[in-house]
Structures are given as structure tokens and as C-alpha cells.
């Protein structure tokens, strides 16, 4: 807010003109004297002071309205993000879905049941996302991050998750059949009830993975797995897994 200072009454013209020693400077002194009187009059005009207060009040009202409508703006942003995801459903490419999903997840919006099958989502960041019953089948999600995400009962069938990060993720009951997890990080992931039939786990990091109740590893490739939990490799080979170099597809 502006500081309103009331000016002192200017001296009368008879006193003021004595400042002009030369006659030719008197018009300039007169102009200055007139402006001083004008400034004095305006500084004592209460209406201008009221306008200053109204200006400050209007700013306050604008701030109040801005914060009161913040919830509506967030809802609108979420609605637009969901529109991007839903209108692109079943289509290839990204279609803005990477940004939309990351924005929703950043606002802690559950992504339960989201369908991004066949989408190009390389490098997507969905750490801690709620992705229960999500559909990522045949999607290209290379180097995607799903650390601590909940993918319970999700479909990851034939998806490309090469070099992805699933550390501490929940993959219980997930369909990982024919998925490409080459070089991925499954450290601490929970895989109870997960189906890994024909999945490619080549060079995958398995440190601390909870594997004891995996539904199937038939024909899964476990070649070069790193830091596998004790007993996992022997169990997997006994239940139909393979350990074969050079079988991973580079075009998935």
C-alpha cells in the first residue's frame, strides 16, 4: 500500500517570488509554485486516499479468490490429463500420456485400471503409483520407473520393460507373460501369484525379490540374473525356466 503523506501548505506568492533574483527566472518559479499548490491540494484530498485503500483491498480480494478456486483449478487439470489418457486409449505412440500420467501421479491420483496397452511410454516415471489392474500389455516402456508402485493384478503381457526399475514394486498377481524385463531391476519386488511364463529376465537384478509364490516361470529366460535370492535359480529351472544367452528380442 502507498504511504499517504499530507504536504505542508506552500508559502504565499509574495514570499515565494523573492526566491527569484532575476526577472527572467520568475515564470519558472511561478510554475513551480503552482505545482506545489496542486500537490498540496491533492495530498489533502481524502478521495485519493480512499482510492489507495480500495486498490489494496482489491488485491486482497483477488488473492482470496485465487486460493479459494485452487481446488477447481486442480480438478480441471486432472480432468484434462484424464482426457488425454482416455482419448488415446488403444492407440500407439505417446499422445501426451507420459506427461498426463506423471502429472496425475505427482498429485497422488490413483491410476487404478488405466489402459495404456500398445502405447509408447519410454522413460515414464511412475514411482509409487497406484496401478492396480492397469493394462500395459504390448506397451513400450523401456527404462520406465515403477519403484514402489502397486501393480497388483495388472497386465504387463508382451510389454517391453527393458532396463526398467521395479524396485520394491508390488507385482502380486500380475500377468508378465512374454514380457521383456532384460536388465530390469526387480530388487525387493513382490511377485506372489505373478505369471512369468516366457518372460525374459536376462541380466535382471533380483536382490531381495519375494519370489516364493510365483505362479509360473515356464519357459522364462533367467540367463545372467544378478543377485538372485537363495534358491530361486534352482527352483525356476526345476519349474521350466531356461538359462539361454542371446535369445532376447531387440525389437520388442
Q: Are residues 64 and 148 in the same domain?
A: no
Dihedral sign, Cα of residue 164, residue 209, residue 176, residue 182: positive
Q: Are residues 101 and 225 in the same domain?
A: yes
Q: Are residues 44 and 156 in the same domain?
A: no
Q: Which of 146, 248, 234 is nearest to 199 (CA)?
A: 248
For residue 6, tell me if it sits in a domain. no
Maximum CA extent, the chain: 116
The domain total for the chain is 2
**pLDDT digit of tens for each residue in the chain (252 aa)?**
555 566 667 667 566 666 665 666 666 667 776 777 677 666 666 655 666 666 776 777 776 766 665 666 788 888 899 989 988 777 777 778 999 999 999 999 999 999 999 999 999 999 999 999 999 999 999 999 999 999 999 999 999 999 999 999 999 999 999 999 999 999 999 999 999 999 999 999 999 999 999 999 999 999 999 999 999 999 999 999 999 986 544 334
For residue 145, tell me if it sits in a domain. yes
For residue 112, tell me if it sits in a domain. yes
Evaluate if pTM is beyond 0.75: no
Instruction: Kindly report the backbone phi and psi dihedral angles of residue 34, in degrees, each rounded to the nearest multiple of 5, phi listed first.
Output: -65, -45
The domain in which residue 141 lies consists of 92-244
For residue 170, tell me if it sits in a domain. yes
Q: Which residue has the cell 536382490?
A: 207
Amino acid at each position: 500500500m502507498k504511504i499517504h503523506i499530507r504536504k505542508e501548505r506552500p508559502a504565499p506568492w509574495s514570499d515565494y517570488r523573492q526566491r527569484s533574483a532575476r526577472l527572467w527566472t520568475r515564470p519558472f518559479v511561478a510554475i513551480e509554485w503552482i505545482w506545489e499548490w496542486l500537490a498540496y491540494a491533492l495530498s489533502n484530498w481524502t478521495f485519493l486516499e480512499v482510492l489507495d485503500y480500495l486498490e489494496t483491498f482489491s488485491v486482497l480480494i483477488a488473492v482470496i479468490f485465487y486460493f479459494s478456486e485452487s481446488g477447481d483449478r486442480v480438478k480441471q487439470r486432472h480432468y484434462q490429463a484424464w482426457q488425454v489418457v482416455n482419448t488415446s486409449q488403444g492407440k500407439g505412440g505417446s499422445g501426451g500420456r507420459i506427461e498426463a500420467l506423471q502429472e496425475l501421479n505427482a498429485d497422488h491420483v490413483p491410476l487404478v485400471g488405466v489402459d495404456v496397452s500398445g502405447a509408447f511410454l519410454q522413460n515414464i516415471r511412475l514411482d509409487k503409483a497406484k496401478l492396480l489392474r492397469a493394462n500395459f500389455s504390448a506397451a513400450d516402456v523401456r527404462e520406465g520407473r515403477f519403484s514402489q508402485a502397486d501393480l497388483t493384478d495388472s497386465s504387463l503381457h508382451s510389454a517391453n520393460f527393458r532396463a526398467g526399475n521395479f524396485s520394491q514394486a508390488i507385482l502380486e498377481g500380475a500377468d508378465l507373460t512374454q514380457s521383456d524385463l532384460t536388465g530390469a531391476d526387480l530388487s525387493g519386488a513382490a511377485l506372489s501369484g505373478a505369471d512369468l511364463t516366457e518372460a525374459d529376465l536376462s541380466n535382471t537384478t533380483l536382490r531381495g525379490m519375494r519370489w516364493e509364490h510365483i505362479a509360473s516361470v515356464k519357459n522364462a529366460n533367467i540367463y545372467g540374473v544378478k543377485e538372485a535370492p537363495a534358491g530361486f535359480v534352482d527352483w525356476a529351472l526345476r519349474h521350466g525356466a531356461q538359462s539361454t544367452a542371446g535369445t532376447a528380442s531387440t525389437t520388442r
